[in-house]
Amino acid sequence: MFKLRPYRGLLVASVFVLVIGGLLSAYFFVEDAYCTGCRRGLFILIITLIIFVLLVVVAFSRYGFRHLWHHRPGYKRG
């Protein structure tokens, strides 16, 4: 049966990516106060946010099937 719930595994993976990427970018920001460390941290933060958003969009992709939102009992397939 089709359920309109987001994919739980993808949501967990997106939170995991967000935490690990945030910690890694914070490490680069704190490690080096010069431009090289800040640029690496900013680059990792941007990539992390892009991956996070893509995972959340894919996790909620089931909501794109509007024809499955309402099941009418009188609906006949065929």
How do residues 3-27 score in pLDDT, each as one tens digit? 677 889 999 999 999 999 999 998 8
Q: Are 18 and 51 in contact (CB under 8 A)?
A: no
Q: How many Å apart are CA 16 and CA 64, to the nearest integer?
A: 25
Full-model pTM:
0.74
Angle of CA points 28, 30, 31, to nearest 5°: 65
**Which pLDDT tens digit goes with each residue over 26-76?**
888 876 666 677 888 889 999 999 999 999 999 988 777 666 666 666 555
Q: Which pair of structure tokens corresponds to residue 21?
A: 């990427």
Q: Are 25 and 48 in contact (CB under 8 A)?
A: yes
Instruction: Let me know if 8 is exposed, middle or buried by CB neighbors in 10 A (0-12, 13-18, 19+).
Output: exposed
